[in-house]
Structure 1
Amino acid sequence: MGLLVSIDNGGTLTDICAFDGTKVLHAKTLTTPHDLTECLMAGLTALASKTEADGDLARLVASIDHLRYSTTQGTNAIAQRKGPRVGLIVNSLASAERIEAAASDLFATLVGDRFAVVDGSDERVMIQHVRGLVAQGASRLVVAIDGEDAGKTEARLRRALYAAFPRHLLGAVPLLFSTALTPGADLLRRGWSGLINAFLHPSMEQFLHHAEDQLRRHHIRNPLLIFRNDGGSTRVSRTVALQTYSSGPRGGVEGGEAITRHYGFARAVSIDIGGTTTDLAYFNGGRVAASSQGYVESAPIAFALAEVPSVAAGGGSILSVVDGVIRIGPESVGALPGPACFGRGGTAATITDVMLLAEVIDPASYFGGQLVLDRERAARAVSEHLAAPLGLSLPDAVAAAIAAYDNRIAEAVAALGAADTLLAFGGAGPMSACGVAEKAGIDTVLIPRFAAVFSAFGIGFSPIRHEHRIELSDFSATRVDEARAELVRRAERAMTSEGFALSDCRLDWRAIIDGAAPTALDDVDANARGVLLLEAVRAIPTPPLGPAAHPAQREASPSGTRGNADPQPLFRIEQLAPGDHGVGPCIVEEEFFTCRVPDGWSWVVTGNHDLFLEREGARP
C-alpha cells in the first residue's frame, strides 16, 4: 500500500500523521493564516524528511494513496464573523423571524436586513426581490420556503430564477435551495444549514481547490479527501462546506474512541488543548454522544455533530488580572505574534510563557528545536501582566497562573460528568494533564504516543463515507423500492468518483421521520412522511494499535535533567520501551509535547507506547 496521510490544520499549528502500512510518522508546522496551502505543503515537506522520500516533496506526494485533510477555517470564520454577505428568501415574515430568533447574533452578521418575503406565486415579484438583495450587497442567496410543498415550490423558483438570470449572469451570485441541501428537514434547520453553508463556502472552495491543484501538480494518486464533522471523508467536490465546521475536534474524537475502546475505559474525558481553545469530549463505553441534528453556536442545523464543547483556554490564551483574579482568555495571541517567548512581537503573557519560566519546557528543544524560546521576554510579560498587578514575586505569579489555568479546564472537565480516566492530547494537553486531573478528582491519565498530533492521528480512522437522501411522502413498498434504486444510482456515481466500486462498500439504510434520529426501515409506518437515507461506507486501512497492557517492568533511566532552580529527571519517550516506569516529580517529553509529572504521580509506558499515569493511592 501507499502512504496514508492525515492533516489537521489548526489556528496556530498544523499537524501531520502518516501510516505506511507498518509504522506511524508525524510532523508539525506553523499555520500560515494568510495562505493555508503554504502550511499544507510545508507540513508535507516536513513529513518527507522523515520518510524514504528523504525530503523530496514531489516524491512524497507521488507515494500517497489517500490524503485526508481537516481545517479550522470554517470554525474560525464563524467565531470571527468573517465571510460574505448572505441574502435570505422566505415565503413569510414569520419564517424570517423564526430563523432570526434561533441565533439572532449570528443572523445579524450573516443576513442582517438582507431578506425578502415572496409567496412563490408571482415569479416577477420574486425576480425583483433578487435584484434588490443583490443591490443590498448580498453575494450569496439562500432560498428557504416553509410548508409541506417546500421542495416543489423551491424547484419551481429555481427554474424561474435561472430562466430570468442565465448562469453567466447569476453565476456571480450563487443560489442555494434549502430543500436540495437538506431534504426533509424542518424550516429552521434547512434555513440555518443553508445560511451557514453559504457563508463558509467561498473561502473553503477557494482554498481547497487551490490545495487540490497544488497536489495534482505534484502527481498525487487520488483526489484530496476532506475530513468532515460526521467522522467521514469525501473528495472536495462532494464536500458540503458546513460539514467542515468543527471537523478538527472530531478527529480527536475518532482517535479518542479508538483509544478508549482499546484500553477498555468505561468512562473517560478527553482534553485537546491547542493554541486557542481546549476541546472536551466524554466517552461512555468508548463512544462520544452525538446529536443527529446539531447546532452551530445556537443555530440549529440538519447535520450530525458530536458533542465536543470548548473552553477558551489554550497555550496561546492571554493571561491577565481582572479585579485581583487571573483571567484565562478568551483572547488568544494566535500563531502571530504568538506568546511573548516566541520573540515575534508578542507582549502578552500566556501559559506557554509561564511554563517556560516554570522550567517545564526547554527553550532550546521546544517544537522539536524548530523554535527557540526567549526566557527574558517571557519573564517581562509575566512580570508586567501578572506579577505586578497581583503584588507577587515572579515565581509565585508563575505558580498562581498554573493553578488558575488548570482550574479553568478542570471545571469544564468536571461539568461533563464522573470519569475514571483523563485522556490528554494536543500540543499543550500533556503539560497540564496531571494538574487538571487532580483538580477534577480524576486519578488516572492517559497520554497517547501521538498526543501532539492526535487529531490528525484520529483522522486516520476515518472511512470514505457518502450520504444520500430522498424525501418521501409515504413509505409504501413501491415508493421505497423506487427511492432505493435512485439512491443506489447516486451512490454508485459518488463512489466511482472516489475510485471505489459500490460493491466494496457497506450500505446502511435508515429513515428520518419528523426530524427525529435515523431509525431502521422496518420500524417505519408505510403512511409516514420523511426521508430515506443511504450511507455508503468504504473502509481504508487504519493505524495499528499495540498491546493495551501496561505492567511496570523496568525502572526507567533519565536522559538528563530539566531546570536550574529545582532540577528534575528528564525522560525522552523516544528512548523508552513498554514497561519502563518512573515517579514524579519529573518531566517526560516527546519531540512535540512535554508532560509534567508532579509529586505523588507515577507513570508507565504501555504496550502501545502510550504514557499511563496514576495518582498515589489510586488503586485499592
Structure 2
Amino acid sequence: MSRYRIAADIGGTFTDVVLYDKQTGKYQTAKSPSTPEDLSLGVLNGVNKLISNLKDVDFFVHGTTAGLNAFLERKGADMSLILTKGFKDIYEIGRANRPEIYNIQYRQPKRLIERRDVFEVNERMLADGSVDTPLNEEEVLKIIDTITERGLNSVSICLLHAYNNPEHEKQIRHWINEYLPHVSVSLSHEIVREWREYERTSTTIINAYIAPIVERYLKKLDDETKKKDLDSELYIMQSNGGVMTAEIAKKIPIQTMMSGPVGGTIGGTEIGQTNKLQHLICVDMGGTSFDVSMIVNGQPDVTSEAKLEKFPIMTPMVNIHTIGAGGGSIAWVEGGGLRVGPESAGSNPGPACYGNNGKEATVTDANLVLGRIDSEGFSSSDMQLDYRSAYNVIEKVAEKLDLSVVETAEGICDIANAKMADAIRTLTISKGIDPRDFALVAFGGAGPMHAMFIAEKLGINKIMIPSMAGTFSAWGMLQTDIRHDDVRTYVSTMEECDNGIMNRLYHEMKTDTDKILNQQKISEKDRVFTYLSDLRYAGQEYTVTVPLSSNEVTNQNLKHLITDFHEKHLNIYGHNNPEGQVEIVNLRLTGKGLLKKEQRSKGIDNKNGRASSPRSKPVIWKSVEKETTIYSIFDLTPNKSALGPMIIETSSSTVVVPEDFNVVLDSSGSLEITRRNHT
C-alpha cells in the first residue's frame, strides 16, 4: 500500500512542497527557490528535501505557472489562427465597448497573433448547426503549406458556429495532424463550446499560445518523476478548483492558468468547514504577488468568464484578483513620493536580505528592519537573513525621502498594506459586498505578517492563519477532486424551451464528461454531476448561472429554476423583475471525480520547527520600539488565548500580531485571531 500524498505549488520566489504521511497522519513541508529557467527543477528540489524516491507516492499534484508565465511575459508559441471566410478581423476588432471610458491613457492589449498569420477558409455552418458551405480542402492544404514555410508551431481553429457543429474543425485538425504531426492544434469547440465569437476566439488563441510550452514542461516533469519511480498519475491543479491528469492538461492548458493560487482557495474551503465559517476572503501573499479570492456560502466563487491582461477567457475558474504586491515587491521613489511594487526582486536575486547581491529595497527587507522577521532563520527554507544588507538598501531609499530608516520601513509596509486592502475592495465593496461580513484567511510566506494590518483597514474582525500558512496553497491541492466542466449554447425563452432538446444536450455533455473521467480512471460510484443553466431577463446581455434541482429537465423543475433565478438576481444586483420574461442561454454541466483524501491532519511534523521557550526582542510598532515576545507555534497551548503584540514563528511563515488582537491556537493547529475593542 502506498504511503504518501504530495503536492507542489510553484510561486514567483519559492516552490512549496507538502508531503502527507498516511501512516503517521502528519504533514511535512519544504520550500525551495523557484527556477524560472526550468520550473521542474524547483519542484524536484523541493520534493527531494522530503522524499528521495516516489515509489510509495500514490498521489502527486502540483500547480504550474508555466502557461501563465509564458502568457504574461509574451513568450508563447509562434502560431496561426484559422477562421471562417469573411471573419478574418474578428480577433483584431474585438468588442466595440471601451472598458475604461474615463482613462485617456487606456490602450488595447497587444494581440497574441500577427494579422499575417490569420487565415480564412471557405466554409460556413449556420447557427442551427447545418452546413451552408462545405469545407474547401484545397484551401486548407494551402494554409498548411504556409504554416510550414513560416515555421509556426501551434494552430488555433475557431470556425463560425462550431460550438453547434464542430465537424469542420475536426476535419481541419485531421489534415494538420497528417501533414504537420509536430504542431499543436487547439479547436474552439474543445476549449469552450459556447457562442459569442470574439470571446470564444480569444479563449482558443490563449490556449494555443501556451500549449507547446505547457506540453514541454509537463512532459519533462512527467519524465523526471518517472525516473524517481512514480507509478501513479501526475495531476495538475485546474483554475476551476479541481484537478486533472497531466495528459488532459496538455490538451486544455488554459485550465492551468491560475492553478497555483486556486489551491489556497480550496484549502480555505476546508478551513471554513472545520471552523463553521461560510463566508471567507482568502489572501495569498508570496514573494511576487498578492492573490484575493472569496468563499461564499461555503463554496469557492467560480466565474464562467474572466479577463486576463484585458483578454476575455470563457472557461470556468475561481474568481481571483491579483496585484503585484509580495514580500519581494521593490520600494522606489518617484516625484518625491514612496512607491511599492508592482516590480519584484523575484527569487534571483530576491530581497537584499537574502544575501544574493540584491540591490533594491523590498517589503521583506522592511519587515526585517522593523524586527518582524527573525534574521537567524527564515521559515522552513533554512535561510540566514542579512540584516545589514536590508538596512543599507532601506537607508538609500530613506535618504531620498529625507526620512529615518524606521519611518521608511514602516512606510513601505503601510503602502503595501493599503494596496492589498484596495485589492480586496475590488473583489468586495466594488460589487456591493461588505468585507466586514467575512473572515480573512491569510496564507503564503508573507500573508500572516500583514493580515492583521489589512484586516484593520477593512474593518474585518476575524482572521484565520492556517497551520501550514507558508505552504497552504500546496496543502489545499491535496483536498481537491478531479473536475471537468462542459457547456452547450441553447437560446430560448423559458416559455418556449424544449425539454427534449435540453435533456439531449445534458446527456451529450454527461457522455463526454464520462469519457474524460474514464480516461482519468474514476469509477462510476465516485462520479458526481451538477446540472446548471445560464439565465437572463429578455434584453440583457449577461447571465446568471443557476443550478437545476434535478438531473432531468421537467416542467416542474423549470418553474423552480425561474424562481431561483429571480432570487439570485436580487441577491447579486439588489433588484429583480419577477414579472419579466426570462431567457435561457447556456446549459452547463460540472462533473467531479471524487478522490480519496485525508482532510484532517493529526498535526505537523516538527522536524523543521524551532520549538523553544518564548523569548523577546525589540520590534517596531507604530514607530515605537517595544520589547516583544516571540513564540514558536509549537509552544502554544491549544484553546488558550493570548493578547498581542507578539510574533509567532511557524515552520513556513511568521505571524505578526499587533496589540488589541487576541490569538487562540485551535485543535487543528490553525490560529484564530480576533480584533478587540472594535466598533
Per the normalisation by structure 2, the TM-score is 0.80
* Range moving further from structure 2, 519-528 or 326-335: 519-528
Partner of 2:596: 540
Structure 1 residue 477 displacement after superposition: 7.2
Aligned to 2:435: 419
* Distance apart, 1:268 and its partner CA: 3.3
Provide the secondary structure at the position in 2 that maps to 1:62: coil
Cα-to-partner distance string for 1:257-290 (whole Å, 9 max, x where unaligned)? 2212332335432221011111112333333322
The residue type equivalent to 1:226 in the other structure is I
Contact 1:188 1:301 (8 Å CA) reproduced? no
**Structure-2 residue corresponding to 1:64:** 57
Residue matched to 1:156: 168
Partner of 2:566: none
Matches within 5 A, 1:320-469: 320-368=332-380, 370-384=382-396, 386-415=397-426, 416-417=428-429, 418-420=434-436, 421-467=439-485
* RMSD after superposition: 3.2
Q: Secondary structure at 2:8's aligned position in 1? A: strand
- Do the aligned partners of 2:163 and 2:194 also contact (CA within 8 Å) in 1? no
Q: Is the 8 A contact 1:446 1:612 kept in 2?
A: yes
Give yes or no for contact 1:273–1:428 (8 Å, CA) kept in 2.
yes
Whether the 8 Å CA contact 2:329–2:342 is kept in 1: the answer is yes
CA distance, structure 2, for counterparts of residue 65 and residue 141 of structure 1? 36
**1:53: which partner in 2?**
none
Report the alpha carbon displacement of residue 254 of structure 1 after superposing the two structures with TM. 0.7
Q: Which runs of 5+ in 2 are unaligned?
A: 100-106, 124-134, 537-541, 559-582, 604-610, 620-624
Is the 2:159–2:169 contact (alpha carbons within 8 Å) kept by the matching residues of 1?
A: no
Q: Which amino acid is 1:410 matched to?
A: A
1:605 aligned partner: 665
1:349–1:252 distance in 2 versus 1, CA, 3 Å: same
Whole-angstrom CA distance in 2 between matches of 1:380 and 1:301: 44
Q: Does 1:588 align with 2:643?
A: no
- Using the alignment, how far apart are the partners of 2:658 and 2:529 within structure 1? 49
Q: Give the stretch that moved more between structures: 534-543 or 584-593.
A: 534-543
In the alignment, structure 1 segments of 5+ residues that lack a partner are 49-56, 548-555
Partner of 1:52: none
Deviations 1:487-513 (A, max 9, x none): 666555544443332233223445668
Aligned ranges for residues 478-493 of structure 1 at < 5 Å? 490-491=512-513, 493=515
**What's the secondary structure of 2:435's corresponding residue?**
coil
Classify the secondary structure of the residue corresponding to 1:454: helix
**Separation (CA, whole Å) in 1 of partners of 2:137 and 2:504:** 32
Would the alpha carbon gap of residues 286 and 567 (structure 1) be closer, same or farther in structure 2, given more than 3 Å must change? same
Equivalence for 1:553: none
- Distance, in Å, in 1 between the alignment partners of 2:36 and 2:405 is 34
Tell me which residue corresponds to 2:72. Answer: 79
Q: Deviations over 1:502-530 (max 9, x none)?
A: 23322344566899536536458999886
d(CA) in 2 for partners of 1:512, 1:429: 36
Distance 1:455 1:190 in 2: 30
Quick one: which amino acid aligns to residue 146 of structure 1?
A: L
Alignment of 1:208-357 (within 5 A): 208-239=218-249, 240-357=252-369
Change (3 A) 1:139 1:394: same
The answer to whether the aligner puts 1:28 opposite 2:12 as a matched pair is no
Q: Which moved more, 1:609-618 or 1:462-471?
A: 462-471
Per-residue Cα deviation, 1:109-138 (whole angstroms, up to 9, x for no partner):
344542123332543234333433554553
Q: Please, which moves more after superposition, 312-321 or 14-23? A: 14-23
* 1:96-115 C-alpha deviation (Å, 9 max, x unpaired): 33565259855523445421
Alpha-carbon shift at residue 462 of structure 1 (Å): 0.5
In 1: Cα distance, 2:486 partner to 2:9 partner: 26
- 1:475-554 superposed matches below 5 A: 490-491=512-513, 493-510=515-532, 517=545, 519-520=547-548, 522-523=552-553, 533=589, 535-544=591-600
**Secondary structure at 2:232's aligned position in 1?**
coil
Name which of 592, 615, 618 aligns with 1:560.
615
Match of 1:116 in 2: 119
Distance 1:92 1:489, change over 3 A: closer
Look up the SS of the partner of 2:350 in the other structure: coil
The equivalent of 1:3 in structure 2 is: 4
Secondary structure, counterpart of 2:111 in structure 1:
helix
Letter in 1 for 2:75: K
Q: 1:603 to 1:512 in 2, by over 3 A?
A: closer
How many Å separate the matches in 1 of 2:226 and 2:91? 45
Q: Deviations over 1:200-253 (max 9, x none)?
A: 111111111211122222222311011101111111111220000011111111
Partner of 2:50: 47
The 8 Å contact of residues 116 and 133 in structure 1, kept in 2 or not, is answered as no
Note if contact 1:295-1:305 (Cα within 8 Å) is conserved in structure 2. no
Question: Cα distance 1:126–1:557, how it changes in 2: closer, same or farther (>3 A)?
Answer: closer
CA distance 1:529–1:610, change in 2 (3 Å): closer
Deviations 1:1-25 (A, max 9, x none): 6322221111211112233342232
2:643–2:663: 8 Å Cα contact kept in structure 1?
yes
Pair 433,2 (structure 1): closer, same or farther in 2 beyond 3 Å? same
Would you say the 8 A contact 1:139–1:173 is kept in 2? yes
Q: Which amino acid aligns with 2:599?
A: P
Whole-angstrom CA distance in 2 between matches of 1:282 and 1:529? 26
Q: Any residues of structure 2 matched to 1:74-153 within 5 Å, and which?
A: 74-94=67-87, 96-98=89-91, 100-102=93-95, 105-106=108-109, 108-120=111-123, 121-147=135-161, 152=165
CA distance in 1 between partners of 2:479 and 2:406 (Å): 43
Deviates more, 1:491-500 or 1:302-311: 491-500
Q: Secondary structure at the match of 2:160?
A: coil
Contact 1:88/1:111, CA 8 A, preserved across alignment? no
- Counterparts of 1:184 and 1:412, CA distance in 2: 31
- Does the Cα contact within 8 Å between 1:12 and 1:30 map onto a contact in 2? yes
Q: How many residues align?
A: 596
- CA contact 1:4–1:64 (8 Å) conserved in 2: yes
Residue 551 of structure 1 corresponds to none
